[in-house]
Structure 1
Amino acid sequence: MLKYINNQLLQDDMQQQKLETQLSASIQQRLQQNIVAFKQYQPALLPLLQVVAKQYFVFCTRAGELNITDCTTGRVLYGEQPQKEVIAESQSFWLQAPYVNLNSVPILSSKAQAEALPVAVDTIMVFGLGLGHHIAELLRNVRIKYLIIYEPEVDFLLCSIQAVDWAEIFELADSLGTLISLQIGNNGATVSADLAELQALSTDMQKVYLYRHICHKVSDEVFEFLLNNSGKPQQLLKQGYQFLGFEHAQDFLPQRPGNILANQSYSTEYTAQQRLCFERNMQAIAKLYPDVYQNFIAYQPTRWQLINQSDGSVNVQHIRRQAAFYLDIEYESAELTQQFIKQPAKDDIMVNQTVTWKFRHYVHYQAIKELQAVFADIEHQQQALPSQVNSLIIFGIALGRHLELLLQQHEVNNLYLCEPNTDFFYASLYVTDWAGVLETAEKNGRRIYLNIGGTGQEYFADFAEQFYHSGAYAIADTYMMTSYYTPALAQAVRMLRSQLRVILALGEYFDHVRYGIAHTAHSMQANHHFLKKLATLPVHAAQNIPVFIVGNGPSLDDCIEYIREYRDKVMLISCGTALKALYTLGIKPDIHAEIEQNRSTYDWVTQVPDRDYLKSIKLLSVNGIHPDTAALFQDVYLVFKEGEASTVLFQSTLKQAGFDTEALEFAYPTVSNLVVNFVLKTGFKHIYLFGVDLGYANVSQHHSKHSAYYKADGKELYNYKKVHGDGIPIPGNFQPTVYTKPEFDVSRRLIEDVIAAHQQKTDVYNCSNGARISGATPLLPDNILLRDVPDQPAKLLNDMFNVLFYQHYSSAVENILQHYNLEYLRITIDQWCKLIETPVASLAEARDIISQQWLHLRSSVQQKGNLTMLLFNGSTMYFLSVLTKLLPVNGTQEQLRRFNQVLSVWHNYLEKAVEAFIAEPFKFDSSTVEI
């Protein structure tokens, strides 16, 4: 189920290194001998031996044997003892060897034909080389005329020449008269031509035996083709068949799954006990999950089916690929469960939070600085799964045996079960006691959430909704268990982890709320324009003007001439630091967009030294833009940002005064999100993205060279790689792969969401050489063709903005805080501080003090005019998350000390924050950056 390299290494790094050192000399000697052997017996393959491996490499297991690992996933090809594993596999092949009949004979079963392997055969086709131990085993035990070895991965050959003695293999083959054909880089798609060539060499050949050592998405289709056409020589020899491979996410198989040889006997008939289990389970599901019941009452598996194996165990087998999910369901399920109990995965969302220099004066970040020692103390600690678990997400159910084992040993209050493969869940209904699991949970007041058949895209929305009710801090008390590996499931888990982190990382801490209120109040008084509620979108000629959205990604440098060429025909919007790049290149946008509320935007914008240039540009931003930044521009057009405290505060007040304003839901985390959301919301029909890379091919080229991120000599302003890391690989727009960071990845997904919501009304073109954005058509700037562009675009835009935005309303909100009582705020915080001033002495007290704080915060909402929830919701979520992360689960003095230390920092935070706000509720932010 889960085979990872860390599970096959010695825990002591020094011992592991010593073991590897002992083997290295013999590996080098074997490698040189094998190169000599290939030069003599397979000279055509010598160039392949000189290439550098890209994905697969050998490593030494703790048992002292070489194995292969995939460096992109950390997964391994074999168990800890590959030689023993291969010997057992070979012995199984001797007893039952699948074959394809080249003569015309009727085949009555869809199962692979297999028989005891004769001592001498014409041809064996091997699918997969791996380390190559099985090649030597075949030659030692069978007399073979033609041994054809298909191996699509060149890396496996490079691994094999380090692991096995090819000189012995070639010499043995030579002495036996065996012709070895090493088809490296060939997935078997040439099989029909190869069979024809073999028949020409051996006209009396009747059977070809098939040894599948490694599953591969294309090779397995070839394997299926051979088995399905056994006894049909015309079909087998007919060339031109296109093997496309098993590409669907639910067709994925590990490289060495159960029944790898496709020679095991099994039954697909359900036993009477299994049918009874299914009926009981469906009755329980009908009661608690009627939608799930309806989906599975008449369900028919399409890819995977439950099988009863000859040894009495159960498994699920891929119908077409004829390979099973489990090697040994009981052993693997027990091993998976024990590994998770011993080292559970719990998101360290709060660990390693750092203080950004420009925010060093914030109350929130001053508290974070005090917590650095605590974070450093817990960073490398690993605790076993507690007997009582608050929240657990399990990705992958399969047949559910590990779920039963886990719930026998641990109580889980909130269990989230995600199984993208509906065939797996259906099979589990026949063998897992779902009725018992669900009834026990209901009896004990626990909750189980089922997400069956989801792709992973909706996990975030589902979990965010659940965490909203219990408080987002519950994320920090949530364990995550991945039951098996598929690329799609791994990507869904990575995406969910990243998105859950962003919930908290983008949380509105006290200082952000405070300055958001002050800055928005100033915008009201200055009559900055706010976007009207667009219940019915007005139709305007300006909506046909093409929109060029210019971000500051590295690919902007290659797009400048195209932007210059079409400048007068489009609405040009610069995003953030792209403004400096455009100014340097002599291009002026119609609109500049900013999203940050702190004053550092002023420092970035004033990198453009020409104030007249700035004063001729409109500013588009969200409420909360800093007054000093806003004052630099001609006009200021604002839109409320959905969910922010200042939005809640001011929108309601404006509505009471007769001004119904719009709020954008996806205006974060980057300025590109704001702009894309805005132009789609306001009905523009033709949108082009330039420099909206949200990723980079080279980590040293992360923004335009003409932007403020680079000095005049072209050097980076700061070490971007050191601060942000190497990046996450994702599909590129014009190239296979680019690298991104979590914030950009979330940005990309939210842009995809908003494009999807407007797909039928708008054409979006991605001209950026960065991340692929679903819903945005990749378009090279060379291929831009603008048609039917309206005349006088600047005048049309002014007319449209006058229609879309409110112009004057300052008198309606002269004193926004008159509706709120600051004394209520002070009293609530005083009560809160009293609540947490006494240190806790046990786990029960710690859990109780967390829940009491959440209830205290929520209760403040009931008091009209109390600002506590608006000001402290985000900060509370953060600190309750940290406290939850530090729960003293073992009740040790050290754990209690850490918990109480954080509680004390939080107590001081509350006191300092409330005093600062009451003293100066409309104080502006004073952040600066050194550029």
Structure 2
Amino acid sequence: MLKNIHLHVDAVEERQHALEQHAAEFMELRKRQNISAFTRFMPGLLQYVQMPTHSSISLMCNQHGELNIIDYQTGRVLYSDYPRADASSQVDNFANHPLYVAINEAAIPAPSATTDLPFLAGLDSTVALSYRQSQPLPQVIDVLVILGLGLGHHIEQLLSRYQINHLIVYEPHTDYMKYSFSVTDWKFILERAQQHGTGIYLQVAKDATELSANIEELSQHISVGGFYVMQHYSHPSFNQVIEMLAKHSWDEFKHWIPGSAQHASNENYDSIWQSPVDRTQWSKDYLDLSLFNTNIEAFNRYFPAIGKEFSDYTPQHWTPLANSEGRVNVFHHDTLASLYGPSPQADCARSLDNFVQRPNKDNLVLGYTGQKLRSYLHYQLVEEVQSVLSELEESKSALPDIIKSMIIFGMGVGYQLPRLYADYQVEKLFICEPNRDYFFASLYAINWADILQQVDDNDGRIYLNIGDDGSHLIHDLLHQFHSIGPHVLANTYFYQGYYNASLATSIVQLREQLQVIISMGDYFDHSRYGIAHTQWAIDNQIPFLKADAPQQLSQDTRETPVFIVGNGPSLDSLLPLIKAHQDQAIIVSCGTALQSLHRNGITPDFHAEIEINRATYDWACRIGDFEYLKNISLISCNGMHPDTCSLYKDVFLAFKEGESATVSITELYPQHGWATLGKSYPTVTNFAVDFITRAGFEQLYLCGVDMGFVDKAHHHSKSSGYYENGEQVYDYSQVNNTSLVVAGNFRPWVNTKYEFKVSKSVLEQAFTSNRAEVYNLNDGAKIAGAIALQPNDLLILGQPADVQQAISRVKQRCFVTLDSTVYQRRYNARYRHDVLADELTQFKTLLASVPNTKDAAERWVNEQRQFIVDSFNTRKSALYFYLTGTVNYINSAFIKTLNVDDEQQSLQAFNTIAATWAETVSHIEYALLNGQYHYDAISSYPTHRRIALFAQHSIPLAFTVLPQEKAHLQKFTGRGLIGQGNPVPAATPPANILFIDAVAADDTRLAEQADCIVVQSYSWLERLFSAHYTQPVVFLPGDYLNPKCSVDCNDLRRMMSSVYACIQQWQNSVIIPKIAVHHSSAFVSDNFVLPIFDNSFFYTAADFVLVSRYKLSDDAMVTALGDRLTHIKTLDTNDFIAEKIDEEAYSTRMLVYKSLLEK
């Protein structure tokens, strides 16, 4: 149990170093001696000395000067503190109760007489009975089989004490054999064996599954009536061998097929090594039954379901036994392994001591490094806050006296809990014990009644999750944290009471998902647009998926093959297969895979999108074939953008579980019959799988759903928008961490990134919770629940007519529309705009009273959370749904500042963030009061979309650039400016673009004739703005050749914006291109945020800002080239920054612009 390396090294580095120096000298000498011995006696095994290490296994010297084996990947050692002493105790226990295997009945020793110290009394299992009836080990042993070499100390002990004629040793780990040369006294072992005629058979890289064959082979040379078996450490094969030998006769064992006796890994996992316990000291009779009854009464009061389940519970795999002092341990029925060593209470105390000294508090992922959503108010807040948090260093001291929140994963029998509650004030405790048998044992070990009473008296909170192996744990914990406020996670400690390798993945996933609960959750902009887009869908009678959709379809329809087509690298090789079977299966494209299908002449039946932002519109427009899109049905969640929906033939939606846009609406319909998708994140493929399986389909084929990649440069299909002419549009691995490694579908491993790892995990949960047969055809990550299927082995028998009939039936039977009139009546009654305005005013008042002490600051943070919860409970406005995610984020940030020891630094950072937060809420208030139901305007690759729409609309414009000295810029007009090609012939007089800075200061004649005026200097801008010129003005100060300016401050960018302004025919407006910054944003602050714009209306798009004297109509919010504008309250520096680039990108752009402008 106590295997963490921190428990085994000296806390004083100098002492540890001295111990390691001495150990190094010893190992070098021992290795030379052993090589000499093996050269004499077993030269064939010398190969293991020089064998390269293929694992993370190595040797380490502990604080007692003893050598141990360590796995650096897990940070855990093999043995306890004293490997030699433990080996001696293990041999003692084996000598008293050995397992003997009789090959013929004449060789069976007589059963041992009953003693006053029965062997594991009360543990009723066949294996326990076999050991219980055994006789002590004789002095002369004919054949002894040892399962496990390890460091070999036990072999030295056995050869010293007994005459062994034949010794067979199995060691599956070649690294153990290698390192034994530096530790084990092989010289003594081999010389002793020669002196006493002992035959030693070292079976390296063997796991004893060939035991019967080896014994049979030995029987051909000597007479073997039976043999003794000693298991040195726990190993899956060793455990099975021991269980089979103890339960069955030799003849039955010989017919055993290895691997056929597998158990559920979680409940049956036992530590690879546990300090030996004297099994005669543990009995069921020592269990405290009165304590058990008291605990059951307490659980009946506080947790009735737990009390009912465990009042008459029968252990399934582990039986609790106690020693004469009443200390409880648990023993496995078949392996007889114990969870703890000889002193369970001492083991738990030492484990807790280590945690107290080094408390583990995972850092929440609060930042956002992307560029696409940086215009969102939430992410502008995140950027400002992160700049403050990055300068802070949280306290990393011992466990505080007041523990705000703590998660215990695996408490065992629970001896840590009484001390935890005695020494600390624990406000919120979440206990996750995946093994019901362990929890049952705790009812005999600790006083739960006192603990529960203490929690109740102190108004604390305790959450118990018993028996969950991780399948539902993450969902349940997320639900718990959402109920109290996820910001609590910033103050949550994580303690693992014992190690269980079979649950390691679940624990990692749990911690990873808790870390991103804030950053991946709802936030203001997402909620605002999700609600607005959902309203549009209901008003426009878009149908939603029914909860009982599968029952609406026949079994034949449900078995229609469905190809889920992602944009992974495997799609390139699977495209011919998809094309060949496109009439025999329903084709569902996911996100950017649509471009790849289009380029290869494949029209999917459905296209899936998940992001509510408008980037999905841009990606679809980039295809450039709008008739193609009108042949495809769109499936998505309820927040899908209206502009995206308008591109497709028809649209079918499903509500996404837990999001504000969903909960705010399902609240209005308590008895609704809609499906709510709970496994549709984080990627569009997750949504497609969840949607399709919830619709009832049971035969899925994953194509291009790699969730990883063999080649980091080949991360998506090369037919998609991530590549141009086979080359990456941008360095994907530089933007994403692709260094993670996961098991492969057709190969041992592949690389992946964190989002794909989470996506894979959610897919696996989805596959285990439905009836679908899923086949993975990709050379990517292995996905549990999906059968690996080589593309050449695919056999599809569907008929085109059946496929079309299935599609028709799904659309007709599995969806329902909402009555928009009823919906609006209910919505307006529940979510009143006037109450929302009042509550925002009250919330701003709360934010204005910033406290000046840490204690007061913590109360203030909780008051914010309570304010929005109270709003939810009054049920009069939508404030909770809009703000809850962003409040969770900002409160987490506040908590991080309060965790800094230096109070002055802590409160200074706190106040800085509080001011930023107050400003953000002011912008949120403006957005909700002036554009509550506006649509999202995020853009992705806007130039590509403009090219497509420019071609579609065939806009007939030509341009003249004035004055003459700027005429050379004429080449940058027309369609050639926006994309590739020549200017479009004009059907009207050319538009005049005037670069007014090249005109004399007193010459206003050209300005009056211009259709668009380009301004570089502030003086001309002020003059034009004051004179109320109606023509659109493009304002871009600076010179790209000046290193203090942006590289985008050039005439090419000015021309691009001018052409756009002429096409759009904006009036009474100033268009300001957004620019890239590569070092400081001071240039932007000094030259773009200008007082003359006061009292104007401000709008932002992907790459420009529009300042208008008048408020734009809803129709004017969408431009002819497909940009959608967002109305904002004020302008600040960030509104003018398109992106932040490094020096390399700056230099590259500089070269491009110079080559174009200097020609």
Q: Are 2:313 and 1:299 aligned?
A: yes
Q: Which amino acid aligns with 2:463?
A: Y
In structure 2, do the counterparts of structure 1 residues 149 and 545 end up closer, same or farther at CA, with 3 Å as the change threshold?
closer
Please say if residues 411 and 496 of structure 2, whose CA atoms lie closer than 8 Å, have aligned partners that are also in contact.
no
Give the superposition deviation at 1:20. 5.7
Q: How does 1:524-539 map to 2 (within 5 A)?
A: 527=540, 529-531=542-544, 533=546, 538-539=552-553
Please say if residues 109 and 135 of structure 2, whose CA atoms lie closer than 8 Å, have aligned partners that are also in contact.
no
Give the superposition deviation at 1:362. 1.9
Report the Cα distance in structure 1 between the residues aligned to 2:465 and 2:825, rounded to whole angstroms.
Answer: 48
- Tell me which residue corresponds to 1:548: 563
Report the Cα distance in structure 2 between the residues aligned to 1:867 and 1:174, rounded to whole angstroms.
Answer: 85
Q: How does 1:168-247 map to 2 (within 5 A)?
A: 169-198=189-218, 203=223, 208-226=227-245, 235=250, 239-244=254-259, 247=263
In structure 2, do the counterparts of structure 1 residues 788 and 138 end up closer, same or farther at CA, with 3 Å as the change threshold?
closer
Report the Cα distance in structure 2 between the residues aligned to 1:264 and 1:743, rounded to whole angstroms.
Answer: 48
Please say if residues 19 and 64 of structure 1, whose CA atoms lie closer than 8 Å, have aligned partners that are also in contact.
yes
Q: Which amino acid aligns with 1:403?
A: L
Report the Cα distance in structure 2 between the residues aligned to 1:379 and 1:210, rounded to whole angstroms.
Answer: 55
Q: SS in structure 1 opposite 2:583?
A: helix
- Tell me which residue corresponds to 1:41: 41
- Tell me which residue corresponds to 1:257: 274
- Tell me which residue corresponds to 2:69: 68
Report the Cα distance in structure 2 between the residues aligned to 1:360 and 1:558, rounded to whole angstroms.
Answer: 36
Q: SS in structure 1 opposite 2:440?
A: helix
- Tell me which residue corresponds to 2:936: 924
In structure 2, do the counterparts of structure 1 residues 711 and 79 end up closer, same or farther at CA, with 3 Å as the change threshold?
farther
After superposition, the C-alpha distances for 1:834-881 in whole angstroms (9 at most, x for unaligned) are 323344344432332122112211233466763422321211122223
Report the Cα distance in structure 1 between the residues aligned to 2:208 and 2:504, rounded to whole angstroms.
Answer: 28
Q: How does 1:276-315 map to 2 (within 5 A)?
A: 276-309=290-323, 313-315=327-329
Report the Cα distance in structure 1 between the residues aligned to 2:753 and 2:376, rounded to whole angstroms.
Answer: 25
In structure 2, do the counterparts of structure 1 residues 817 and 911 end up closer, same or farther at CA, with 3 Å as the change threshold?
farther
After superposition, the C-alpha distances for 1:744-763 in whole angstroms (9 at most, x for unaligned) are 4543454455555652xx55
Report the Cα distance in structure 1 between the residues aligned to 2:88 and 2:108, rounded to whole angstroms.
Answer: 34
Q: How does 1:101-500 map to 2 (within 5 A)?
A: 102=102, 103-107=107-111, 110-111=130-131, 121-140=141-160, 142-164=162-184, 166-167=186-187, 169-198=189-218, 203=223, 208-226=227-245, 235=250, 239-244=254-259, 247-248=263-264, 249-259=266-276, 264-271=279-286, 274-309=288-323, 313-327=327-341, 328-350=343-365, 353-378=367-392, 381-500=395-514
More contact order relative to length (CA 8 Å, sep ≥ 6): 1
Structure 1 or 2, whichever has the larger Rg, is: 2
Please say if residues 124 and 146 of structure 1, whose CA atoms lie closer than 8 Å, have aligned partners that are also in contact.
yes
Q: Which amino acid aligns with 2:234?
A: C
In structure 2, do the counterparts of structure 1 residues 788 and 79 end up closer, same or farther at CA, with 3 Å as the change threshold?
closer
Please say if residues 567 and 720 of structure 2, whose CA atoms lie closer than 8 Å, have aligned partners that are also in contact.
yes
Q: SS in structure 1 opposite 2:430?
A: strand
Structure 1 residue ranges without an equivalent (≥5)? none
Give the superposition deviation at 1:550. 0.3
Give the superposition deviation at 1:424. 2.0
In structure 2, do the counterparts of structure 1 residues 889 and 415 end up closer, same or farther at CA, with 3 Å as the change threshold?
farther
In structure 2, do the counterparts of structure 1 residues 403 and 521 end up closer, same or farther at CA, with 3 Å as the change threshold?
closer
Report the Cα distance in structure 2 between the residues aligned to 1:910 and 1:595, rounded to whole angstroms.
Answer: 27
- Tell me which residue corresponds to 1:678: 691
Please say if residues 35 and 46 of structure 1, whose CA atoms lie closer than 8 Å, have aligned partners that are also in contact.
yes
Please say if residues 395 and 900 of structure 2, whose CA atoms lie closer than 8 Å, have aligned partners that are also in contact.
no
Q: SS in structure 1 opposite 2:372?
A: helix
Q: Which amino acid aligns with 2:759?
A: S
Q: How does 1:804-883 map to 2 (within 5 A)?
A: 824-861=835-872, 866-883=877-894
In structure 2, do the counterparts of structure 1 residues 46 and 441 end up closer, same or farther at CA, with 3 Å as the change threshold?
same
- Tell me which residue corresponds to 1:767: 777
Please say if residues 394 and 899 of structure 2, whose CA atoms lie closer than 8 Å, have aligned partners that are also in contact.
no
In structure 2, do the counterparts of structure 1 residues 465 and 519 end up closer, same or farther at CA, with 3 Å as the change threshold?
closer
Q: Which amino acid aligns with 2:689?
A: V
Report the Cα distance in structure 1 between the residues aligned to 2:352 and 2:796, rounded to whole angstroms.
Answer: 59
Please say if residues 100 and 113 of structure 1, whose CA atoms lie closer than 8 Å, have aligned partners that are also in contact.
no
Give the superposition deviation at 1:808. 11
Give the superposition deviation at 1:486. 1.1
Q: Which amino acid aligns with 1:247?
A: H
- Tell me which residue corresponds to 2:594: 579
Please say if residues 528 and 636 of structure 1, whose CA atoms lie closer than 8 Å, have aligned partners that are also in contact.
no
Report the Cα distance in structure 2 between the residues aligned to 1:781 and 1:365, rounded to whole angstroms.
Answer: 43
Give the superposition deviation at 1:409. 1.0
Report the Cα distance in structure 1 between the residues aligned to 2:30 and 2:600, rounded to whole angstroms.
Answer: 59
- Tell me which residue corresponds to 1:782: 792
Report the Cα distance in structure 2 between the residues aligned to 1:576 and 1:14, rounded to whole angstroms.
Answer: 57
In structure 2, do the counterparts of structure 1 residues 795 and 317 end up closer, same or farther at CA, with 3 Å as the change threshold?
closer
- Tell me which residue corresponds to 1:599: 614
Please say if residues 561 and 798 of structure 2, whose CA atoms lie closer than 8 Å, have aligned partners that are also in contact.
no
Structure 2 residue ranges without an equivalent (≥5)? 113-128, 945-1159
Report the Cα distance in structure 1 between the residues aligned to 2:160 and 2:729, rounded to whole angstroms.
Answer: 61
After superposition, the C-alpha distances for 1:302-331 in whole angstroms (9 at most, x for unaligned) are 322233447875422223212222113232
In structure 2, do the counterparts of structure 1 residues 141 and 646 end up closer, same or farther at CA, with 3 Å as the change threshold?
closer
Please say if residues 673 and 747 of structure 1, whose CA atoms lie closer than 8 Å, have aligned partners that are also in contact.
yes
Please say if residues 112 and 227 of structure 1, whose CA atoms lie closer than 8 Å, have aligned partners that are also in contact.
no
In structure 2, do the counterparts of structure 1 residues 157 and 721 end up closer, same or farther at CA, with 3 Å as the change threshold?
farther
- Tell me which residue corresponds to 2:1049: none
Give the superposition deviation at 1:425. 2.2
Q: Which amino acid aligns with 2:7?
A: N
Which region of structure 1 is more displaced relative to structure 2, 889-898 or 421-430?
Answer: 889-898
Report the Cα distance in structure 1 between the residues aligned to 2:53 and 2:420, rounded to whole angstroms.
Answer: 43
Percent identity of the aligned residues? Answer: 33
Please say if residues 528 and 637 of structure 1, whose CA atoms lie closer than 8 Å, have aligned partners that are also in contact.
no
Structure 1 vs Structure 2 CA RMSD:
4.0
Q: SS in structure 2 opposite 1:688?
A: strand
Normalized against structure 1, the TM-score is what? Answer: 0.87
In structure 2, do the counterparts of structure 1 residues 533 and 251 end up closer, same or farther at CA, with 3 Å as the change threshold?
closer
After superposition, the C-alpha distances for 1:490-524 in whole angstroms (9 at most, x for unaligned) are 33322322333454232221122233345456667
In structure 2, do the counterparts of structure 1 residues 125 and 837 end up closer, same or farther at CA, with 3 Å as the change threshold?
same
In structure 2, do the counterparts of structure 1 residues 358 and 94 end up closer, same or farther at CA, with 3 Å as the change threshold?
closer
In structure 2, do the counterparts of structure 1 residues 129 and 375 end up closer, same or farther at CA, with 3 Å as the change threshold?
farther
Please say if residues 393 and 416 of structure 1, whose CA atoms lie closer than 8 Å, have aligned partners that are also in contact.
yes
- Tell me which residue corresponds to 1:622: 637
Q: SS in structure 1 opposite 2:739?
A: coil
Q: 1:689 aligns with which of 699, 702, 706?
A: 702
Q: Are 2:759 and 1:747 aligned?
A: yes
After superposition, the C-alpha distances for 1:97-139 in whole angstroms (9 at most, x for unaligned) are 7352752333255335677766664444322111233334444
Give the superposition deviation at 1:183. 1.0
Which region of structure 1 is more displaced relative to structure 2, 181-190 or 861-870?
Answer: 861-870
In structure 2, do the counterparts of structure 1 residues 550 and 897 end up closer, same or farther at CA, with 3 Å as the change threshold?
same
Please say if residues 756 and 775 of structure 1, whose CA atoms lie closer than 8 Å, have aligned partners that are also in contact.
yes
Report the Cα distance in structure 1 between the residues aligned to 2:443 and 2:899, rounded to whole angstroms.
Answer: 38
After superposition, the C-alpha distances for 1:626-665 in whole angstroms (9 at most, x for unaligned) are 4554454444444443443344567789x89x99976544
- Tell me which residue corresponds to 2:721: 708
Q: Are 2:533 and 1:514 aligned?
A: no
Please say if residues 265 and 310 of structure 1, whose CA atoms lie closer than 8 Å, have aligned partners that are also in contact.
no
- Tell me which residue corresponds to 1:56: 57
- Tell me which residue corresponds to 2:1123: none
Give the superposition deviation at 1:711. 5.1
Please say if residues 545 and 653 of structure 2, whose CA atoms lie closer than 8 Å, have aligned partners that are also in contact.
no
Give the superposition deviation at 1:764. 4.1
Q: SS in structure 2 opposite 1:724?
A: coil
